[in-house]
Structure 1
Amino acid sequence: MNLNWVQIGSLLMFLAVALGAFGSHALKSKLSPHYFEVFQTGVLYHFIHAFAIFLVAWLGTQSDDPNIQFAGVAFLTGIVFFSGSLYLLSISEVKAIALFTPIGGVLFLAGWVLLFISRYKGLQ
């Protein structure tokens, strides 16, 4: 599994900036303060984990441990589930969408654990 994490991270960062700007300029006046905050939370975690994908790209040049690649997949799918569900929830106000948010959170956590394991194994 040799994904181009720099390209994926770049695309995700572009989307995070675009969605953040869209939220601040187009949605802020249309959403309730609560749902605007929900949208902004999605953007924040989108940024953090898009940046984490650049970390995956760099660590992938340092080691061939498959846990690094799995971490990238976890971060990518975590953004889709966590941030994506918050974006949809904020604009639709359909509360059932929030059921997907914790799945993304668990994927984020799994990604960080996988990176820890990959580096811990590298120290032995």
Structure 2
Amino acid sequence: MKLKYGHMLSLACFMLFLAVALGAFGAHGLKELVTGKYLETYKTGVTYHFYHSFALLILPIIGKTFNINVRGSFYFFIAGIILFSFNCYLYAILQVKTFAMIVPLGGFSFLIGWLMLALTTLKTSEG
């Protein structure tokens, strides 16, 4: 089943809601619990969560405007947020190294999503 553009926008808004909520938790609640590199790791997770949630918000607009399929990039960005950002959060809070080892898979998902978008738009601009 293909994800419709309206559903993609709704999911993007939910991901932005989570980014704001988790960012606020990090700024106000987490400072008392963790310090140093763990707090920086958490902030990095929030930053990439925001970047790619905004990308999720823009993707369906691009897809509909230019009549291209952006779903692959959308799925990879969702996977990247889960694998990268959420594992940054877990690592910062629990300080279990296993979570930190999963983070690069999320970074790779982000890269694949951006590459897919670039190739999709390139193919469209050639036609």
- Bin of the TM-score, shorter chain as denominator length: over 0.9
Distance 2:8 2:52 in 1: 12
Question: Post-superposition shift, 1:64?
Answer: 4.4
TM-score by length of structure 1 reads 0.94
Once the two structures are overlaid, the 10-residue window that deviates more, 55-64 or 25-34, is 55-64
Match of 1:2 in 2: 3
Gap runs ≥5 in structure 2: none
Could you tell me which residue of structure 2 aligns to residue 88 of structure 1? 90
Equivalence for 2:39: 36
The TM-score normalised by the length of structure 2 is 0.92
Tell me how far 1:2 sits from its aligned partner.
Answer: 2.3
**Which piece of structure 1 moves more, 38-47 or 94-103?**
94-103
Deviation for aligned residue 1:54? 1.2
Q: Find the aligned partners of 1:73 and 1:34 in 2 and give their Cα distance.
A: 30
Where does 1:1-124 land on structure 2 (aligned, <5 Å)? 1-3=2-4, 4-66=7-69, 68-124=70-126
CA contact (8 A) 2:79 2:106 kept: yes
CA RMSD across the alignment: 1.1
| 1: CA distance, partners of 2:58 / 2:107 | 18
Kindly report structure 1 stretches of 4+ aligned residues shifted beyond 3 Å: 63-66
In structure 1, the gaps of 5 or more residues are none
The size of the alignment, in residue pairs, is: 123
